[in-house]
Amino acid sequence: MNSGAIPTGETHRQSGLGIQPSLFNDANQASLNSAITAVTQLVGKTLGSVEQPFSGISPAQLAKEFRAVDLEQPLDDLGAVLQEISRLYLRDAVYFHHPDYLAHLNPPVLIESIAAELLQAAFNTAVDTWDQSGGATLIEQKLVDWTLSRIGFEPGKADGVFTSGGTQSNLMGMLLARDHYCEAHFSGHRVQTQGLPLEAAKFRIFTSSVSHFSIQKSAALLGLGFDAVIPVAVDTQFRMDPRALAAALLASRERGEIPIAVVATMGTTDFGSIDPIEDISALCRQYQLWLHADAAYGCGLLVSEKYRSRIEGIDLADSVTVDYHKSFLQPVACSAFIARNHSHLDCITYHADYLNPLSQSEEGTPNLVCKSLQTTRRFDALKLWFSLRRHGASAIGDAFTHVIDMAAAVYHRFAEEQSIEFAQPPQMSTLVFRYTTDNPQDIEQQNRINSSIRKTLTNSGRAMIASTKIDGCVYLKFTLLNPSTELEAISSVLETIISTGDALGAEEKMLNAVGATSRAQSTEAY
């Protein structure tokens, strides 16, 4: 046969035979059921064997396991794949459902959301356009409308879209802020078609000194640069100080810069601090600035009956970031960006003839790609839909309320403990503190011991905690998002921290004493 000949249909069928038994279709339902059963059994076996949140393995140790893996050589069957993944992933995974996982903003997830993930993956719905998603488009839109109503935005006027996370949502907020300012203040200048105006080098964004780093990343991606972000001083509760913001805005104007936006953080990553958005909004109105509310963490307050008032005034923002995969007990990724005025999302729209032609928009076809930075996009809204339809918003709100109450209870239990110093009373479900030695003036020693405490706990796998720095001092951090975690479990970890700090301090004293003796003996011998 001529090597350039077109293969026959039979050849095509033969070449695909190896993969066909695994294709998702009605002919392979038995294989699907078998695979789901096998995975479910592995999940159950793993859950039953988890005794602590992490194995303590080092990156170098685990990397050795991967060197022998040859991706060019497939395994015999799914059972072999599951055995391998159990060894390479599950054995040393970090388990967010464990009560001693207290590190980052990673919650345990609802079973209904796991079921939704299976359904979404099976049918592989892409929600960029109507002709790829159908009802999935309307499910996402319904959830967006529900969220904006919870914020307090006007239905029919506000709009939004699901995103990959807070970083993307914050980027969208800064994008809309930049483009809106250019159009409003530079004679209708549209960045989307005309690019940045020359004055863009003077644009400035204001956010608290403890806000999320994604604001700086956004400024860089938008062609403004890291230096376009002006950090604003915070008060003793790590909230943006409105007086400091007013002074920063005035100083910026006097330098010939152009303030365009302010970011109010409704729950900072490190402290859970909530900026006074009503005072900030007044300054934004005075200076005609875009106000973006980063509620990636604090969005759980939207469904907390007890603590909803803590984000009163969020409806004053021009745009809002929400992360359901933090305080709504959802798997990553499940987030959204909401704009108070849907027309501002036009700066993202591009009509491609093959995908979302203008004619469809004029006919009223809802193509979500018109308001998203992403084109192909997962149906991440389904898991939130499952969760809300099964449990309701109040149950999810109660779960978030519980972790806030737990943080307060831990703080009150240990507030008088001499070995623990809290940075502040908790505003949400975050506790920032440090172990204090009997020589608190020795900052280097305190930093050294607190860093070693975290490393010791991580290496043992006993508990997973985080750390941060305040004015050069190392602090430890608990982030509580697991509603099944109770006071005694959290207290036990804190007591372990104290005992570990005591042991590390005693070891340092002993080593220092041995060193001093050795130096003295050397001097005498000399």
Q: For domain 126-390, give the CATH number.
A: 3.40.640.10
Contact 429, 410 (CB under 8 A): no
Q: Please write down the long-range contacts of 359-368, taking CB distance under 8 Å and 24 or more positions apart.
A: 360/130, 365/130, 366/130, 366/137, 366/138, 366/141, 367/128, 367/129, 367/130, 367/137, 368/127, 368/128, 368/129, 368/133, 368/137, 368/140, 368/141, 368/161
Backbone angles phi, psi at 390, to 5 degrees: -85, -40
Please tell me the predicted confidence (pLDDT) of residue 440.
Answer: 82
**Residues contacting residue 102 through CB under 8 Å, at least 6 positions apart:** 463, 464, 465, 466, 478, 479, 480, 485, 490, 493
Residue 258 β-bridge partners: 203
pLDDT in tens, 62-91: 999 999 999 999 998 999 999 999 999 999
Side by side, the strands of the sheet bearing 229-232 are 159-163, 335-339, 319-323, 290-295, 258-265, 203-208, 229-232
| DSSP strand pairing (290-295 vs 319-323) | parallel
The 10 Å CB-count burial string (b at 16+, else e) for 397-430 is bbbbbbbbbbbbebbeebeeeebbbbbbebbbbb
Stretches in the chain below the pLDDT threshold 70:
1-17, 512-526
CA separation for the pair 174, 218 (Å, rounded): 7
Specify the pLDDT at position 524: 59
Residue 522: per-residue pLDDT: 61
Peptide bond into 251 cis (omega under 30): no
How far is Cα 218 from Cα 196, in angstroms, rounded to an integer? 15
Residue 6 per-residue DSSP state: P
Q: What is the pLDDT of residues 131-142, one digit of tens each?
A: 999 999 999 999
Contact predicate 419/498, CB 8 Å:
yes
Nearest Cα residue to 428 out of 470, 367, 478: 478
Residues facing 256 on adjacent strands: none
Question: Got the DSSP string for 142-180?
Answer: HHHHHHHHHHTPPTTT-EEEEESSHHHHHHHHHHHHHHH
Topology agreement, domain 126-390 and domain 394-515: no
Ordered DSSP codes for 86-130: HHHTGGG---TTSTTB-SSS-----HHHHHHHHHHHHHT-B-SSH
The helix (H) or strand (E) run that includes residue 188 is none
In sequence order, the 6+-apart residues with CB closer than 8 A to the CB of 429 are 272, 400, 403, 404, 406, 407, 479, 480, 481
Virtual torsion, Cα 85, 87, 92, 98, nearest 10 deg: 70
Residue 428 DSSP class: S
pTM of the model: 0.93
272: which DSSP letter?
A: -
Distance CA 224, CA 150 (A): 33
Name the one residue in this structure whose structure tokens are 């060894």. 87
pLDDT at 302: 98
Contact 493, 477 (CB under 8 A): no
Phi-psi region of 95 (alpha: psi -120 to 50; beta: other; left: phi over 0): beta
pLDDT of residue 13: 45
Sheet holding 420-422, edge to edge: 420-422, 430-435, 473-479, 466-470
- Residue 409 CA to residue 126 CA, distance in Å, equals 44
- Token pair in block for residue 98: 């464990």
Residue 480 identity (one-letter amino acid): L
The fold of the 394-515 domain, in CATH, is Aspartate Aminotransferase, domain 1 (3.90.1150)
